[in-house]
């Protein structure tokens, strides 16, 4: 009875509450919903936010710090990073894209990795201007997105160049085309890269790739002219190395770029500017079950700087949500002998004569710091915990022989094994 009276009392309220909506028919409501949907979808087409994040732990069996801070203490920072990408479509053919990334190893400082304006010219041509990713590799553009990669970390033997400086300011012209079941793409970039230690002027890069959805083939080439920035840690330490009495050195009356020019090899060095070239080949096969990737690149740098070749071959096999994989990688400097003491050209024309002992000392140090011969075998497993979240465990066995390899300083023993664990997400 009490319930009934409450219900009766509530009835007029309900009637009042529903009064304003009585005037709207179901059809009108449907139209409103449709209009709202349309507005939401238009808004969504205009502005999109995507993100990625990796959370990792890595620990080795060696006290010697390897590859920027991997030691026998668990490192929670090294593989941890997050990025937010914002795409603002100004019109159907013009957009602004920004990617902000924070990396644990850089104290979680947030930097704009990408910041560019993109325009679609039609007929497959796209132009970009701004801060872009260097297009050296097959996986260059999503090298930070752990989820899109099979490993906990891409093989440094090939991807090392990107780790040092992945982005630069440039213009980009790309052409995408289709022939039968194949998609092709050609890309050209021109720009200037400024890092903390060096400037790469007149950087040009071009590459082409084709893919049929399962097989992807790619070839690329780039070149630039490098100058070291005076006063940086790298500059000063190199300068100090040349004048270190331990190597029998003595102060040199010239600047470092002139000293480096002393390491003139076959006339490669001109006035402290060093030409660098980079060429790479890559193939990837992914049929949903089998994943195989092979990538090779060769880097040449004039003068004192080391030339380097690197490659890796990886294979993975998907069983349900699991993918065990194995990777072999190798990296070596290819001009060790050229840079060795015996082959030195003492003093190029136009520079003051310098004591050979300085050059010898400099080169002993340089050889120790620059010569690399590193092998890696890595086994791992990737678990698709759910779409958008992958969990990976990887064990790396690295042998740098009697070279520094990717150790942070010359190691007591050139062998290091390390275990890494990451949770990679995209959202």
Partner 1 sequence: MKHLSIKFLATLTLMSLYAVTQAGPVVVVGSSSPISASGESDVVKAFLGKKKDLGGVSVVPIDQNEGTSARNDFYTNVVKKSEAQLKSYWSRLIFTGKGQAPQVVGGDAEVKNMVASNPNIIGYIDEGAVDGSVKIIYKP
Q: Does 122 bind partner 1 (CB under 8 A)?
A: no
Q: Which stretch binds partner 1 (CB under 8 A): 154-162, 260-268, 384-392, 404-412?
A: 384-392
Which lies closer to partner 1 via its Cβ, residue 35 or residue 201? 35
Which lies closer to partner 1 via its Cβ, residue 38 or residue 68? 38
Q: How far is the CB of 329 from partner 1 (least distance, A)?
A: 22
Three-state helix/strand/coil letters over the chain: CHHHHHHHHHHHHHHHHHHHHHCCCHHHHHHHHHHHHHHHHHHHHHEEEEEEEEEEEEEECCCCCECCCECCCCECCCCCEEEEEEEEECCCCEEEEEEEEEEHHHCCCEEEEEEEEEEEEECCEEEEEEEEECCCCCCHHHCCCHHHCCCCCCCHHHHHHHHHCCEEEEEEEEEEEEECCEEEEEEEEEEEEECCCEEEEEEEEEEEEEECCCEEEEEEEEEEEEEECCCCHHHHHHHHHHHCHHHCCCCCCCCHHHHHHHCCCCCCCECCEEEEEEEEEEEEEECCCEEEEEEEEEEEECCCCCCEEEEEEEEEECECCEEEEEEEEEEEECCCCCCCHHHCCCCCCCCCCCCHHHHHHHHHHHHHHHCCEEEEEEEEEEEEEECCEEEEEEEEEEECCCCCCCECCCCCCCEEEEEEEEEEEEC
Q: Does 148 bind partner 1 (CB under 8 A)?
A: yes
User: Which residues are paired to 276 by β-bridges?
Assistant: 224, 301
Q: Does 387 bind partner 1 (CB under 8 A)?
A: yes
Q: Does 44 bind partner 1 (CB under 8 A)?
A: yes
Q: 6 is written with which tokens?
A: 């409450």
Which lies closer to partner 1 via its Cβ, residue 335 or residue 424? 424
Give residue for tokens 């600047």.
Answer: 255
Round to whole Å and give the CA distance between 132 and 130.
6
Q: Does 288 bind partner 1 (CB under 8 A)?
A: yes
Q: Which stretch binds partner 1 (CB under 8 A): 35-43, 69-77, 102-110, 236-244?
A: 35-43
Q: How far is the CB of 173 from partner 1 (least distance, A)?
A: 14
Round to whole Å and give the CA distance between 300 and 303.
10
**Residue selected from 73, 236, 237, 321 as contacting partner 1 according to rule CB under 8 A:** 321
Q: How far is the CB of 148 from partner 1 (least distance, A)?
A: 5
**Residue selected from 196, 317, 388, 409 as contacting partner 1 according to rule CB under 8 A:** 388
Q: How far is the CB of 105 from partner 1 (least distance, A)?
A: 20
**Residue selected from 78, 118, 218, 376 as contacting partner 1 according to rule CB under 8 A:** 118
Q: How far is the CB of 44 from partner 1 (least distance, A)?
A: 5
Q: Does 34 bind partner 1 (CB under 8 A)?
A: yes
Report residue 250: phi and psi, to 5°: -150, 155
Which lies closer to partner 1 via its Cβ, residue 283 or residue 341? 283
Q: Are the CB atoms for 131 and 114 separated by under 8 Å?
A: yes
Which lies closer to partner 1 via its Cβ, residue 97 or residue 358? 97
Which lies closer to partner 1 via its Cβ, residue 213 or residue 267? 213
Which lies closer to partner 1 via its Cβ, residue 154 or residue 411? 154
Size of the site for partner 1 (CB under 8 A): 34
**Residue selected from 70, 145, 228, 293 as contacting partner 1 according to rule CB under 8 A:** 145
Q: Does 35 bind partner 1 (CB under 8 A)?
A: yes
Q: Does 52 bind partner 1 (CB under 8 A)?
A: yes
Query: Residues 176 to 205: which contact partner 1 by CB under 8 A?
Result: 183
Question: How many CB atoms neighbour CB 19 within 10 A?
Answer: 9
**Residue selected from 7, 17, 29, 50 as contacting partner 1 according to rule CB under 8 A:** 50
Q: Does 45 bind partner 1 (CB under 8 A)?
A: yes
Give residue for tokens 């097989």.
Answer: 215
Which lies closer to partner 1 via its Cβ, residue 289 or residue 346? 289
Q: Are the CB atoms for 257 and 235 separated by under 8 Å?
A: no
Q: Does 94 bind partner 1 (CB under 8 A)?
A: no
Question: How many CB atoms neighbour CB 202 within 10 A?
Answer: 11
Q: How far is the CB of 364 from partner 1 (least distance, A)?
A: 44
Q: How far is the CB of 75 from partner 1 (least distance, A)?
A: 25
Q: How far is the CB of 97 from partner 1 (least distance, A)?
A: 5
- Residues near partner 1 (CB under 8 A): 30, 33-35, 37-38, 41, 44-45, 48, 50, 52, 83, 85, 87, 97, 99, 114, 116, 118, 128, 141-142, 144-145, 147-148, 183, 288, 321, 384, 387-388, 426
């Amino acid at each position: 009875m009490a319930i009934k009276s409450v219900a009766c009392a509530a009835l007029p309220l309900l009637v009042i509450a529903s009064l304003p909506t009585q005037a709207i028919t179901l059809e009108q409501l449907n139209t409103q919903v449709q209009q709202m949907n349309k507005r939401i979808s238009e808004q969504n087409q205009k502005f999109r936010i995507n993100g990625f994040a990796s959370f990792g732990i890595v620990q080795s069996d060696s006290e010697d710090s390897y590859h920027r801070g991997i030691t026998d203490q668990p490192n929670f920072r090294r593989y941890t990073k997050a990025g937010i990408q914002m795409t603002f479509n100004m019109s159907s053919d013009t957009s602004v894209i920004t990617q902000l990334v924070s990396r644990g190893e850089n104290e979680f400082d947030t930097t704009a990795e990408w910041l560019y304006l993109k325009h679609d010219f039609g007929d497959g041509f796209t132009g970009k201007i701004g801060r872009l990713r260097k297009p050296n590799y097959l996986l260059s553009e999503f090298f930070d997105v752990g989820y899109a990669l099979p490993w906990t970390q891409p093989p440094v033997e090939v991807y090392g160049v990107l780790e040092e400086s992945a982005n630069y300011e440039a213009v980009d012209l790309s052409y995408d085309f289709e022939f039968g079941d194949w998609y092709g793409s050609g890309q050209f970039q021109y720009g200037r890269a400024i890092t903390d230690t060096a400037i790469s002027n007149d950087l040009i890069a071009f590459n082409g790739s084709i893919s049929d959805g399962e097989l992807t083939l790619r070839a690329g080439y780039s070149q630039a002219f490098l100058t070291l920035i005076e006063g940086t840690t790298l500059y000063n330490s190199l300068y100090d190395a040349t004048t270190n009495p331990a190597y029998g050195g003595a102060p040199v009356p010239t600047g470092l770029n002139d000293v480096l020019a002393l390491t003139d090899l076959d006339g490669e060095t001109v006035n402290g500017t060093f030409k660098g070239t980079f060429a790479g080949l890559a193939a990837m096969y992914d049929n949903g079950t089998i994943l195989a990737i092979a990538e090779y690149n060769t880097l040449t740098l004039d003068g004192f700087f080391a030339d380097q070749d690197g490659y890796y071959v990886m294979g993975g096999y998907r069983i349900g949500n699991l993918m065990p994989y194995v990777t072999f990688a190798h990296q070596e400097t290819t001009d060790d002998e050229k840079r060795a003491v015996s082959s030195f050209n003492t003093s190029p024309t136009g520079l003051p004569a310098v004591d050979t002992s300085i050059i010898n000392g400099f080169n002993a140090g340089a050889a120790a710091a620059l010569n690399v011969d590193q092998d890696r075998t890595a086994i791992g497993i990737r678990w698709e915990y759910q779409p958008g979240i992958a969990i990976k465990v990887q064990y790396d066995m690295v042998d740098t022989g009697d070279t520094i390899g990717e150790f942070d300083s010359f190691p007591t023993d050139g062998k290091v094994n390390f275990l890494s664990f990451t949770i990679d997400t995209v959202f």
